[in-house]
Amino acid sequence: MNRRDFLRKASLLGFGATAPTLFGVPGFVKPAWALQSMDDADFILPEVMPQVINVFLYGGPSELAGNLTNMDLINRNSQNPYPEELRRSIDDGGQVTRHGFWAEAGGLAMEDMLASGDLSVYRTINRRKNNTRAHRPSVFSSLKGSLAIEAAPGMGSTIAALMHANGSQLNGSAPLRGKHMNQLVLPFVSFEGSSTAFVRDPDGQLPLHLRGLSLDEQFDNPYTRGRNDHDLELEALIAKVVDSSQRIRYQQVAEGLELRRTMEQLIGELQSAADSPLPSPPPIAPGVADPDTDPTTGYLAYPANNRFSARIKAAVTLAVENQDSLFITVGGGLGGWDDHASAMEDYVPRMNQVMEALRVAMKHIRYADISHGGRRRTDNIVIKVHGDFGRNVNLNNSQGWDHGNNQNLYTLGGAAIRPNRALGKVVGRTDVSGPANQNRQYTQPADGSYEAEPLAIASTLYKYFGAQNPQALTRDAEQNPAGDAAINETYPPEPPVSI
């Protein structure tokens, strides 16, 4: 039975919905492409090793926070009216910022970050291949960087595999600061527990030190062992008894137990780092402190009463303090973006919280840089923010938005690993499609606009890590034979909006 036959039969038997469970199954749908792709990726040692924080907004956030440019037509066609202020500029008492962002939905923070050269917004990440609006295939393809969602590993695992396959160039190299890969501490980290981004290639075994590990935002340390009087003797016996056959048979638990001791010590060090004060930014004008500082201490402070602050701060702290952390996933527990109802009440403050936390995150990174008295350069730290898909723009009868295709990518930081003029701009224009007064209304790239598939986000990350031909890592023979190229970060920006 080939894969297509299997999938058809599985669908008939209802297996399709259980795709997540199919991945860890050795022997199913051999992804022979994986090893081949590593060769085809055309690896060149990057000059600067990136550190990527991938913030995934599960549920699929609406694009409107970053794109009110079509609001007149959207409102005319919507089944339910939008607030009038979404069609007026902030200069006129409305909500539309200079670049067409939604002021109260994080738009002001976005404008700040755009002006400081920390952010670019891509408005036309549009799924045309395998044009699904279902959560599972969208989440899986986005976090795996592949449409072959049954077989492909997560994008974090693919980056690890790319590095592993090119160890001869990387080990001892300047981008790794002379380190061997097996000396890297916490290179792949999840702040969301078990993450699709770290699903393994069942056939491509990664060494233990390159596999995803998970931490929590408090750097809580469950790896300690209390009442450990006979530790040495018992561990010695375990080392004899748990042989290679047991390690294979009980692989995940055996690895978990093996990693525990290392983690116990590492977490302790991170806890100390997390407790240290953040950098202190300079005043924005004589006598005027940066608004993101704590007035009593003068140090940067992530916003209080913000559900994203702790996790984003933890991820940035890890990246800043531990240069070995190369790929960090953040997601889950971030509010749930499946805004089918009550969107105005929920989405607007939530999006604002994300963007305000990110604005502080970018300052945290900048002022930890050696140019501001830090210990190292931090302009290799990139943050990517995206989700399952976009949403329709019709405001439905539950005052929410149903699943759509077009979404924004918010990409921040990392000037040292991007081409010139990659930051501080908005790319992509949209127009509205779908019949008036019906639910299925959505934006799509306007004629002549730049656009990219969601897989291009993974492809871009692979490129940062040295793949000159990252399409090879996103392709699969059946659904996406050409793969997807990286986002063209040199594409010219759209002009500010005029309202």
30 in contact with another protein (CB under 8 A): no
8 in contact with another protein (CB under 8 A): no
Residue 67 burial class via C-beta count within 10 angstroms: exposed 0-12, middle 13-18, buried 19 and up: buried
State the minimum distance, in angstroms, from the CB of residue 399 to another protein: 6
| Rounded Cα–Cα distance for residues 201 and 154 (Å) | 8
Among 81, 207, 222, 277, binds another protein (CB under 8 A): 222
User: Hey, how many other C-beta atoms are within 10 angstroms of the C-beta on 63?
Assistant: 28
Contact positions with another protein (CB under 8 A) in 43-72 = 59
Among 32, 44, 115, 253, binds another protein (CB under 8 A): 253
| Rounded Cα–Cα distance for residues 307 and 317 (Å) | 17
Q: Which residues contact 90 (CB under 8 A, 6 or more apart)?
A: 96, 97, 98, 103
State the minimum distance, in angstroms, from the CB of residue 163 to another protein: 19
Four-CA torsion 104, 105, 109, 114, nearest 10 degrees: -120
State the minimum distance, in angstroms, from the CB of residue 134 to another protein: 5
Q: Which amino acid is at 421?
A: R
Select from 386, 476, 460, 382 the least CA-distant residue to 159: 460
CA distances for 486 relative to 4, 52, 148, 268, angstroms? 28, 15, 18, 38
* Residue 342-381 contact track with another protein, rule CB under 8 A, x = bound: x--xx-----------------------------------
88 in contact with another protein (CB under 8 A): no
Using CB under 8 A as the binding criterion, the count of chain residues that bind another protein stands at: 84
Of 73 and 254, the one with the shorter C-beta distance to another protein is 254
Among 2, 93, 131, 304, binds another protein (CB under 8 A): 131
| Rounded Cα–Cα distance for residues 199 and 183 (Å) | 22
Could you tell me which stretch among 126-134, 268-276, 293-301, 457-465 binds another protein (CB under 8 A)?
126-134
State the minimum distance, in angstroms, from the CB of residue 224 to another protein: 8
Could you tell me which stretch among 99-107, 112-120, 187-195, 456-464 binds another protein (CB under 8 A)?
187-195
Of 254 and 485, the one with the shorter C-beta distance to another protein is 254
Select from 477, 486, 490 the least CA-distant residue to 30: 477
State the minimum distance, in angstroms, from the CB of residue 175 to another protein: 26
Among 36, 182, 194, 490, binds another protein (CB under 8 A): 194
42 in contact with another protein (CB under 8 A): no
| Rounded Cα–Cα distance for residues 335 and 387 (Å) | 12
Among 61, 156, 187, 212, binds another protein (CB under 8 A): 212
Select from 309, 359, 385, 447 the least CA-distant residue to 58: 385
Q: Which amino acid is at 385?
A: V
Among 8, 9, 30, 180, binds another protein (CB under 8 A): 9
238 in contact with another protein (CB under 8 A): yes
